[in-house]
Structure 1
Amino acid sequence: MELGLTGKLLVAAPALAETFFERTVIYLCAHSEQDGAMGLIVNRRLSQPGLDDLFAQLGIEPSPPERRIGVCMGGPVEHARGFVLHSADWAGEGSLDVDGHTTLTASLDILREIAAGHGPRQAVMALGHAAWAPGQLEEEILRDSSWFIAPATDEIVFGTDHAKKWRQALVAIDFDPLLLSSSVGEA
């Protein structure tokens, strides 16, 4: 069953309590029946390494007017690999247009542009990503009730208040997080 989730948010349901994905909000960069899915957690800010640390590690010298973007834990896969999720007003070599509004870039070009005060209007960097094999995400959504699906908004994807993103995503689909329970019962 093709759900067409590219460009949407996965919002962790209470079934994922006490797991790596507890209260996560994941922007789905790609989803297909044949290839599975790939996404970035957008609400787990990393305190270390910070953007300046990454620039230093990569030999990128910031020059005024340097821009600041958040760095998130993108997921449990390939922690050392960086991705920049950004508005579609900038594209470079290797950029992937996700949905006409949001673009994913994994090259150093975008970091150089950001360090120089240029680049996309909105951006968030993620280290690592989340991935699902073909059919796995559909099973987690439909059978296991592990995820809610919400529309992606700039405020949730690019906003800086990471602590509120999970709640904002639930409110966007008319769920009151206070009414959710992590226990599953039988009728």
Structure 2
Amino acid sequence: MESLTLSNQFLIAMPNMADPLFARALVYLCEHGEHGAMGLIVNKPSGVALAQLFDQIDLPLDKSATGSRPVYFGGPVQPDRGFVLHTPVGDWQSSLTVSDDMALTTSKDILLAVSEDKGPERFLVTLGYSGWQSGQLEQEIAANAWLTVATDPSIIFEVPPEERYDKAMALLGFDPSLLSGDIGHA
């Protein structure tokens, strides 16, 4: 039997999420399998602008609109490392292809391309990522910590960050105020 993969899905933190790092978090899962899972929180700006990050890595960034874009808090794992979620996939040095049109790149060549206005059509930059050991995410889902839903890339790239959680929740087709953090039987 083939195992279920949640790659290219949204993880939506349940309203009762106890961990403040993940409260109202919307995570895009980039990888999920028998060895664990890896994703990026896509709705929590870090307070750092792209221009500031590019200054720190000695890359010029001429486009003022691009420079003012937020860098996101992708999660608590490797918070000093940058991750670029983008579409189209392209041909970068170190990329994980998540779907036919979405990839995660960690190599500096993509940042250089962005600085020269030759980067991917749509992209989001994070510092850090969210990771789960083998079986951990499945346990958290079973414990009612997360909801999953198919990804809509427009939520990541077109919706303001403060609205992404609610837009992803709306993909489920019910009123999130009806959710309960309790598990059990009626």
> TM over 0.5: same fold?
yes
What does residue 118 of structure 1 align with? 118
1: CA distance, partners of 2:82 / 2:46 = 13
The structural deviation recorded for 1:61 is 1.2
- Please say if residues 86 and 124 of structure 2, whose CA atoms lie closer than 8 Å, have aligned partners that are also in contact: yes
- Please say if residues 84 and 123 of structure 2, whose CA atoms lie closer than 8 Å, have aligned partners that are also in contact: yes
- Please say if residues 40 and 126 of structure 1, whose CA atoms lie closer than 8 Å, have aligned partners that are also in contact: yes
What does residue 156 of structure 2 align with? 157
Of 13-22 and 177-186, more deviation after overlay is shown by 177-186
- Aligned residues: CA RMSD: 2.0
Identity of aligned residues (%): 37
2: CA distance, partners of 1:93 / 1:76 = 24
- Please say if residues 17 and 23 of structure 1, whose CA atoms lie closer than 8 Å, have aligned partners that are also in contact: no
1:29 partner amino acid: C
Aligned positions, number? 184
The structural deviation recorded for 1:183 is 4.9
User: Higher strand share goes to which structure?
Assistant: 2
| Partner SS state of residue 149, structure 1 | strand
The structural deviation recorded for 1:99 is 1.1
What does residue 94 of structure 1 align with? 94
2: CA distance, partners of 1:89 / 1:99 = 8
- Please say if residues 6 and 32 of structure 2, whose CA atoms lie closer than 8 Å, have aligned partners that are also in contact: yes
Of 152-161 and 130-139, more deviation after overlay is shown by 152-161
What does residue 30 of structure 2 align with? 29
**TM-score of the superposed pair, with normalisation by structure 2:** 0.90
2:51 partner amino acid: D
2:169 partner amino acid: L
2: CA distance, partners of 1:58 / 1:89 = 23
What does residue 179 of structure 2 align with? 180
2:151 partner amino acid: A
Deviations 1:125-183 (A, max 9, x none): 010000000011011112x0111111111222223511111111111011312222345
What does residue 72 of structure 2 align with? 72
1:182/1:54 CA distance change after superposition, 3 Å = same
1:162 partner amino acid: P
- Please say if residues 89 and 100 of structure 2, whose CA atoms lie closer than 8 Å, have aligned partners that are also in contact: no
- Please say if residues 65 and 117 of structure 1, whose CA atoms lie closer than 8 Å, have aligned partners that are also in contact: no
Q: Show structure 1 runs of 5+ residues with no match.
A: none
1:8/1:71 CA distance change after superposition, 3 Å = same
What does residue 147 of structure 1 align with? 146
1:101/1:163 CA distance change after superposition, 3 Å = same
What does residue 17 of structure 2 align with? 16
**TM-score of the superposed pair, with normalisation by structure 1:** 0.90
